[in-house]
């Protein structure tokens, strides 16, 4: 199995990142601390095996990207596959895409990994400096479990069968469990038995509880009626106390109102209306007097004012207008002459600054069409583009020729190293025969060992069957029928399970016959290396020939392109010469600046047109000035004081018009004010008549008395309305007569009633609590099932428990059989693991420690070159790390027969000295022949493949 590419959508610090691995099997990934090495290793584990949501929270990208990505892997199946896992997608399950377009799920992935889960993968194939410290917790049993779970071809079935039996057994019964079926039945039986005992004791209490409930309910009913009467009395008293000020106020207002004449007549709001009419009438009278005085003053001013005759006034106006127009024309001519001179200087200076020997007359004689700027711009762009393109194509041509020459030299070298095709085919056939013979030998040896173990199991099962039949017969004679049947069934079932196990495994393990070929392992390795070398040479030859053809074609294309570019350059240069003939000043300007020069010339051309227009306009204004001066000389009045005379006369006329307009306005206002006084005077007269009085003073006195009577009436009605909401009409009538209790008497009555109500409430609460307890007891007794029903349920549960117990016994027997198979397997492969680990350990410790052993099949110890034995805690930290790595590499060698998975090592050699680290890297290169190795380190070497 090999990881070809990593594509990360988002994981920790990595976002939209892709890593491509070269063809080497040992890949060093270097980077400083916090560069993301450990995060990259955890990403690989996440895509392969997933990760819990809580563990995944630390890898949520800070920039908000989705968590997930892809791994492209070869060697996991016959085709290259891509494994994708995205948080929140497909229920967080992995999706596998084949190169043929097929789509697989995570079940397929687990089968392809041959049952290896994340914990097992981490126990062998991935480690860092922290993981190496766990070697002191490794013992023989842990290694045995790892080997049995994932080591041997076909052992998946044993592993899953054991897990299934353990699961089924645990679901049926656990000595201290609560969830298994048998444990739950035992708990239910205990609860039913307890209920049965309690039901018998509680039946006698039921009748007494009912009598007590009836007595309590009668008391509560009587007390509730009494409490309601007290609450009604207390409510009435509290109502009178809270509204006592209103009651007393109603009494006093009613008494005072009865002492006044309530039949008096007076206009509604009479005094207010009188004051309002008088206040309105007084300003009108003052205003009328002021207007009359203003009118007389204006009439006097108008009669004393004199004006000029109209003919003389018209000549004065005409003369003033001509003088103003002549002054404006002179100023306008002066400003335009200044602008005209400045424009001419500006055009001349700009033409001189361009340094193209062009003056204003020459510029007037030239035309610049609108398309000329675009034509000059295209000429410059085309020439620049063709020049740069010629340089690039020339560079590409030289580079292509060099690459072609290098590929031709490489082809000659590879052809010298290649071997004939017939010889390669012969080597391949020989290797196939040798591999078939080796596979046959291993399977035959394994089959023989299994036959020996199975013969012992069959013998044991037969003995158990015979003993079980005899014991069943004895139990049957002693009239213990159930026990006899159970023993007989268990004996037959275990014997049948062993027979079925033997037939099934005989089909699985018995090998097929193959050709007999006697080759040593070194011969096979040498022949494989030679074949691999020739295959690589042939692949390289095909690639080199393809590259040579490609470069030859590219060379021809580039030569044709250069020829075409040179022709285009000549055409552009001819067009440049043509434009220089039409516009000679262009010879003094470089081509890239033609377009900028065009813009400047067009701008000056436009200014020249404006300059001509200014000259024509000046001539027209001078002619107008002469005609105005002639008209002014022909007037009869003198021109010296015309403006002063006109201003004085216009001032008199304006003042006279204003006085007449003001006089008319004041006359109109005076008439209006006089008319506005009439209605108010009539209203005042009507008010006095309605009140039956002659003077305003008598009217005011009568109005004040009427207002006092109305206030008392309104106050009485408001107080009545407030009391009517709370009390009856009879009670309110008594209040108006003064028939109501004093406030102190009401408070004393209120206190007595509250005391009585509290006593009743306490009695009711105590009795209600007692009644609730009695009802709860009755309800509890009523819910209890009948004693006979409980007894029947207990019998049913006992029968169900016996059935589950039989089923649990069968699973226990099958589990013991699998334990025997595990023990046989461990005895075969455990020595192989420790022999291989000893070789690695010996190499890593520079021959100081020679062997790794297991003491009492539990504790791991090591032997040094002098024969002394050491436990793990007696070793240095670096030696412990080397021991742990040796055990991991040895386990991987055992597993490589079925699936060679990649190693993920994250700075695992920090405790090694230089010599041991060098040996460690040498061993890693050896392991990489069978396993891909991803070595993450902060100390980069020259062989670093990727630098983060």
Q: Read off the pLDDT of residues 351-360 as tens digits, 9 standing for 90 and up.
A: 778 777 777 7
Task: Please list the residues that pair with 126 across neighbouring strands.
Answer: 904
Give yes or no for residue 142 having a pLDDT over 60: no
Q: Do residues 449 and 481 both lie within one domain?
A: yes
Q: What average pLDDT does the chain have?
A: 78
DSSP letters, 466-502, are HHHHHHHHHHHHTT-HHHHHHHHHHHHHHHHHHHHHH
For residue 87, give the CATH number of its domain: 3.40.50.300
In the chain, pLDDT over 90 holds for what percent of residues? Answer: 1
Q: Do residues 401 and 471 both lie within one domain?
A: yes
Is residue 895 within 8 A of residue 152, CB to CB? The reply is: no
Evaluate whether residue 293 is within a structural domain: no
Q: Do residues 516 and 558 both lie within one domain?
A: yes
Q: Do residues 85 and 62 both lie within one domain?
A: yes
DSSP letters, 576-606, are HHHHHHHSGGGGGS-GGGHHHHHHHHHHHHH
Nearest 10 degrees: CA dihedral of 193, 197, 200, 201? -150
Give yes or no for residue 141 having a pLDDT over 60: no
Q: What is the pLDDT of residue 603?
A: 83
For the residues 520-531, what does the mean pLDDT come to?
77
Q: Do residues 334 and 418 both lie within one domain?
A: no
Q: Read off the pLDDT of residues 871-904 as tens digits, 9 standing for 90 and up.
A: 887 888 778 888 888 887 887 777 666 667 888 8
Evaluate whether residue 763 is within a structural domain: no
Give yes or no for residue 859 having a pLDDT over 80: no
Give yes or no for residue 513 having a pLDDT over 60: no
**Pick from 141, 143, 1: nearest CA to 887:** 143
Q: Do residues 587 and 661 both lie within one domain?
A: no
Evaluate whether residue 198 is within a structural domain: no
**Comparison of pLDDT for 819 and 71, the residue scoring more:** 71
What lies within 8 Å, CB to CB, of 610 at 6+ separation is: 343
Give yes or no for residue 51 having a pLDDT over 80: yes
DSSP letters, 255-311, are HHHHTS-TT----TTHHHHHHHHHHHHHHHHHHHHHHHHHHHHHHHHHHT-----HH
Q: How far apart are the first and last CA of the chain?
A: 24
What lies within 8 Å, CB to CB, of 747 at 6+ separation is: 241
**Pick from 395, 489, 494, 499: nearest CA to 454:** 499
Is residue 14 within 8 A of residue 60, CB to CB? The reply is: no
Token readout for 898 is 């079925």
Q: What is the pLDDT of residue 82?
A: 92
Q: Provide the 10 A C-beta neighbour count for residue 659.
A: 17
Q: Do residues 343 and 419 both lie within one domain?
A: no
Q: Do residues 382 and 362 both lie within one domain?
A: no
Give yes or no for residue 219 having a pLDDT over 80: yes
Q: Provide the 10 A C-beta neighbour count for residue 234.
A: 17
**Integer Cα distance of 361 and 6 in angstroms:** 76
Q: Is 933 helix (H, G, I), strand (E, B) or coil?
A: strand
Give yes or no for residue 517 having a pLDDT over 80: no
Q: What is the pLDDT of residue 83?
A: 92
Q: Do residues 589 and 567 both lie within one domain?
A: no
For the residues 840-857, what does the mean pLDDT come to?
81
Evaluate whether residue 898 is within a structural domain: no
Residue 61, domain extent? 1-113+941-948
Residue 150 pLDDT level (bands cut at 50, 70, 90): very low
Q: Where are the beta strands (DSSP E) in 108-205?
A: 126-128
Evaluate whether residue 775 is within a structural domain: no
What lies within 8 Å, CB to CB, of 309 at 6+ separation is: none
Q: What is the pLDDT of residue 549?
A: 86
**Integer Cα distance of 291 and 278 in angstroms:** 20
**Comparison of pLDDT for 13 and 370, the residue scoring more:** 13
Q: Is 14 helix (H, G, I), strand (E, B) or coil?
A: strand
Evaluate whether residue 677 is within a structural domain: yes
Nearest 10 degrees: CA dihedral of 251, 256, 261, 263? -30
Q: Do residues 394 and 438 both lie within one domain?
A: yes
Q: Read off the pLDDT of residues 87-132 as tens digits, 9 standing for 90 and up.
A: 888 888 899 988 887 888 888 888 888 778 887 777 777 876 566 5
Q: Are strands 68-74 and 944-947 parallel, antiparallel or unpaired?
A: unpaired
Q: What is the pLDDT of residue 380?
A: 81
Q: Do residues 559 and 587 both lie within one domain?
A: no
Token readout for 597 is 């020069």
Last residue within a domain, chosen from 556, 575, 594 = 575
> Could you give the number of structural domains in the chain?
4
Token readout for 922 is 């040498």
Give yes or no for residue 152 having a pLDDT over 50: no
**Integer Cα distance of 344 and 350 in angstroms:** 10
Q: Read off the pLDDT of residues 391-426 as tens digits, 9 standing for 90 and up.
A: 888 888 888 888 888 888 888 888 888 777 777 777
- Where on the phi/psi map is residue 246: left (φ > 0), alpha (ψ -120 to 50), or beta? alpha
Q: Do residues 617 and 660 both lie within one domain?
A: no
Sign of CA dihedral 647, 648, 653, 654: positive
Last residue within a domain, chosen from 633, 657, 673 = 633
Evaluate whether residue 12 is within a structural domain: yes
Evaluate whether residue 702 is within a structural domain: no
Q: Read off the pLDDT of residues 230-284 as tens digits, 9 standing for 90 and up.
A: 888 888 888 777 877 777 777 787 877 777 766 777 777 777 777 787 788 788 7
């Amino acid at each position: 199995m090999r990881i070809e590419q990593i594509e990360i959508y988002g994981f920790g610090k990595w976002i939209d990142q892709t890593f491509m691995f070269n063809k080497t099997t040992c890949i060093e990934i270097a980077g400083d601390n916090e560069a993301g090495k450990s995060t990259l290793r955890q990403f690989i584990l996440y895509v392969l095996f997933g990760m819990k949501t809580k563990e995944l929270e630390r890898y949520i990208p800070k920039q908000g990207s989705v968590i997930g990505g892809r791994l492209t892997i070869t060697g996991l199946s016959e085709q290259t596959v891509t494994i994708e896992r995205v948080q929140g997608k497909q229920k967080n399950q992995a999706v596998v895409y084949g190169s043929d377009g097929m789509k697989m799920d995570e079940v397929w992935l687990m089968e392809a990994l041959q049952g290896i889960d994340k914990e097992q993968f981490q126990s062998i194939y991935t480690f860092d400096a922290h993981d190496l410290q766990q070697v002191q917790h490794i013992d023989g049993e842990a290694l045995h479990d790892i080997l049995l779970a994932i080591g041997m071809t076909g052992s998946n079935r044993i592993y899953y069968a054991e897990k299934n039996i353990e699961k089924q057994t645990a679901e049926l019964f656990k000595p201290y469990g609560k969830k298994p079926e048998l444990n739950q039945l035992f708990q239910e039986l205990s609860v039913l038995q307890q209920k049965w005992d309690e039901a018998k004791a509680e039946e006698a209490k039921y009748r007494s509880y009912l009598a007590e409930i009836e007595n309590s309910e009668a008391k509560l009913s009587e007390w509730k009626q009494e409490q309601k009467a007290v609450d009604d009395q207390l409510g009435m008293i509290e109502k009178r106390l809270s509204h006592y000020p209103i009651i007393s106020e109603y009494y006093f207002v009613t008494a005072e109102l009865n002492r006044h004449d309530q039949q008096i007549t007076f206009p509604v709001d009479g005094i207010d209306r009188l004051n309002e009419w008088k206040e309105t009438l007084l300003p009108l009278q003052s205003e009328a007097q002021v207007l009359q005085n203003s009118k007389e003053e204006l009439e006097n001013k108008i009669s004393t004012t004199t004006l000029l005759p109209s003919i003389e006034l018209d000549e004065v106006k005409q003369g003033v207008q001509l003088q103003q127009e002549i002054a404006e024309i002179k100023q306008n001519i002066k400003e335009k002459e200044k602008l005209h001179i400045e424009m001419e200087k500006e055009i001349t200076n700009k033409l001189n600054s361009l340094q193209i020997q062009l003056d204003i007359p020459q510029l007037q004689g030239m035309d610049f069409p609108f398309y000329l700027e675009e034509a000059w711009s295209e000429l410059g762009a085309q020439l620049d583009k063709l020049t740069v393109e010629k340089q690039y194509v020339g560079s590409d041509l030289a580079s292509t020729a060099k690459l072609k020459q290098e590929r031709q030299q490489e082809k000659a070298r590879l052809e010298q190293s290649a071997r004939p095709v017939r010889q390669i085919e012969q080597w391949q056939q020989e290797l196939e025969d040798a591999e078939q013979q080796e596979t046959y030998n291993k399977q035959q040896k394994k089959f023989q060992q299994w036959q020996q173990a199975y013969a012992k199991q069959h013998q044991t099962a037969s003995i158990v069957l015979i003993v079980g039949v005899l014991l069943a017969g004895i139990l049957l004679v002693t009239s213990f029928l159930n026990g006899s049947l159970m023993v007989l069934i268990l004996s037959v079932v275990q014997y049948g399970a062993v027979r079925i196990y033997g037939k099934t495994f005989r089909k699985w393990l018995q090998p097929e016959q193959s050709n007999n070929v006697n080759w040593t392992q070194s011969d096979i390795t040498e022949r494989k290396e030679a074949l691999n070398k020739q295959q690589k040479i042939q692949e390289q030859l095909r690639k080199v020939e393809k590259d040579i053809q490609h470069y030859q074609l590219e060379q021809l294309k580039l030569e044709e392109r250069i020829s075409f570019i040179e022709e285009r350059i000549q055409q552009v240069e001819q067009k440049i010469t043509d434009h220089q003939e039409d516009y000679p000043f262009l010879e003094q300007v470089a081509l890239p600046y033609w377009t900028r020069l065009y813009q400047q010339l067009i701008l000056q051309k436009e200014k020249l047109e404006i300059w001509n227009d200014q000259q024509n306009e000046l001539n027209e204004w001078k002619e107008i000035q002469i005609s105005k001066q002639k008209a002014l000389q022909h007037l009869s009045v003198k021109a010296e004081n015309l403006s002063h005379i006109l201003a004085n006369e216009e001032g008199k006329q304006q003042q006279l018009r204003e006085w007449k307009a003001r006089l008319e306005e004041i006359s109109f206002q005076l008439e209006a004010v006089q008319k506005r006084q009439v209605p108010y005077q009539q209203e005042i007269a009507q008010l006095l008549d309605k009140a039956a009085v002659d003077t305003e003073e008598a009217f005011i006195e009568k109005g004040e008395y009427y207002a006092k009577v109305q206030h008392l009436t309104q106050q009485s009605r408001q107080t009545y309305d407030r009391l009517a909401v709370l009390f009856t009409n009879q009670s309110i009538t008594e209040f108006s007569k003064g028939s109501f209790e004093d406030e102190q008497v009401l408070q004393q009555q209120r206190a007595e009633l509250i005391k009585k109500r509290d006593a009743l409430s306490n009695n009711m609460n105590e009795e209600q609590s007692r009644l609730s307890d009695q009802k709860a007891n009755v309800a509890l007794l009523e819910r209890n099932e009948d004693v006979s029903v409980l007894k029947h349920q207990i019998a049913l549960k006992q029968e169900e428990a016996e059935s589950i117990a039989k089923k649990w016994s069968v699973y226990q027997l099958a589990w013991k059989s699998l334990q025997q198979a595990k023990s046989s397997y461990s005895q075969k492969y455990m020595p192989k693991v420790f022999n291989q680990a000893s070789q690695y350990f010996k190499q890593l410790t520079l021959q100081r420690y020679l062997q790794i052993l297991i003491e009492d099949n539990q504790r791991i110890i090591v032997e040094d070159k002098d024969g002394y034995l050491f436990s793990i805690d007696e070793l240095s930290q670096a030696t412990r790390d080397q021991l742990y790595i040796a055990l991991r590499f040895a386990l991987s060698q055992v597993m490589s027969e079925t699936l060679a998975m990649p190693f993920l090592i994250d700075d695992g050699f920090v405790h090694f000295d230089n010599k041991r680290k060098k040996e460690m890297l040498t061993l890693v290169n050896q392991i990489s022949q069978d396993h891909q190795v991803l070595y993450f380190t902060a100390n980069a070497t020259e062989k670093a493949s990727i630098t983060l």
